[in-house]
Amino acid sequence: MSYHLSLTGANGVSDIYIETGLLGRAASLCGEAFTPSRVHIVTDSTVAPLYLEALASQFSLPVSHTVIPAGEEHKRLATVETIYHDLLAAGMTRGDLIIALGGGVTGDITGFAAATFLRGVPLCQIPTTLLAQVDSSVGGKTGVDLPEGKNLAGAFYQPRLVLIDPAVLQTLPEKTLADGMAEVVKYGYIANPAILEMAAQPDYQNQIEALIYECVKIKRDVVAIDEHDTGLRMILNFGHTIGHAAEKLGHYVDLTHGQAVAIGMVAAMRLSAAMGNEDLSAPLIRLLTQLGLPSELRYDREAVYGALLSDKKKFGGTVNFILVREPGRAEITPIAAETLHDYILKL
């Protein structure tokens, strides 16, 4: 099965392809979408031995590359500067092509580098983790972490091409696959409960293409309405407010992003119940446990509150929380910081 979606953004149209085996003809698809004189691939130390040569060898153009260290702890401005230097050494121009080959961290860093190098170089995303395939490679959010918080430096910069090949997921450890399923569950709760039913099947991996498509379709539709995250797009942050705080408190090494989102979704459900809504946390916890994901917030609540106040979702004296009233229906709920403090202490 193959899928094709298009997303129109501020810097043009993104074409998104989902198909098993797509990596093997990536250069051909890039040739249809771009007219570069050279290509620069950014990947990480985990993905490079698996796929870098297989991708680079497809091009008849000069190809250079940067291999960055794997891990969220390297999602820093210093890493972006390394990419800049490699781009300059390779003689890259604004008419050339940058390819992000890797998971969410690689995609975010490379997207930010592409958006800012020479004020913008065409970008192709080739995500190699489930988390990146269903979420971070689509929609144009790029960025890096600062000591004060996650993704605090970044840009909205749409890739012109996203190539999603589910076959590459076969090389992922079970833990990394589960990491991506946290974002899949998120999409089920905010927009399409059928995704939850698919994710709950013991053989969900047999329908992974369809799961990826359903998630990407939701993100495409949301981003088409609100590219710059000022309204509807905020629903994509379900589980991320407290999740990002937990990542920060764990110094970006104790928890993976998916694990943090899983914990954050449960915390958001409990916070919603504390505000008088139906408590939906039990079925969510059951599904997360089945998928091998954590559900309990194990950090000091005062520390959690302090960490989330530096999040981008804070506007003045309020924090925008995404609350799920029923599976498939999410709402953006501004909560006053003082009120939120009381709720967080009770989680």
> Mean pLDDT per 10-residue run, the chain (347 residues)?
90 92 97 97 98 98 98 95 98 98 97 98 98 96 92 95 97 93 98 97 95 97 91 94 94 94 97 93 98 96 90 71 94 91 90
pLDDT value of residue 114 = 98
In the numeric block, the tokens 């309990």 are attached to 296
pLDDT value of residue 314 = 57
| 62 contacts 93 by C-beta, under 8 angstroms | no
CA 150 to each of CA 61, 110, 287: distance values in angstroms, whole numbers, following the listed order: 36, 16, 27
Task: State residue 227 phi and psi, 5-degree precision.
Answer: -65, -35
pLDDT value of residue 309 = 83
| 48 contacts 67 by C-beta, under 8 angstroms | yes
SS3 of the chain: CEEEEEEEECCEEEEEEEECCHHHHHHHHHHHHCCCCCEEEEEECCCHHHHHHHHHCCCCCCEEEEEECCCHHHCCHHHHHHHHHHHHHCCCCCCCEEEEEECHHHHHHHHHHHHHHHHCCCEEEEECCHHHHHHHCCCCEEEEEECCEEEEEEEECCCCEEEECHHHHHHCCHHHHHHHHHHHHHHHHHCCHHHHHHHCCCCHHHHHHHHHHHHHHHHHHHHHHCCCCCCHHHHHHCCHHHHHHHHHHCCCCCCCHHHHHHHHHHHHHHHHHHCCCCCCHHHHHHHHHHCCCCCCCCCCHHHHHHHHCCCCCEECCEEEEEEEEECCEEEEEEEEHHHHHHHHHHC
pLDDT value of residue 313 = 60
Structure tokens at 12: 């043009």
pLDDT value of residue 144 = 96
| 281 contacts 270 by C-beta, under 8 angstroms | yes
pLDDT value of residue 338 = 87
CA 126 to each of CA 132, 136, 242, 315: distance values in angstroms, whole numbers, following the listed order: 9, 11, 28, 33
In terms of C-beta density within 10 A (0-12 exposed, 13-18 middle, 19 or more buried), how is residue 173 classed?
A: exposed
pLDDT value of residue 32 = 96
Q: Which amino acid is at 247?
A: E
Structure tokens at 228: 């710059």
252/72 Cα distance (integer angstroms): 6
pLDDT value of residue 312 = 58
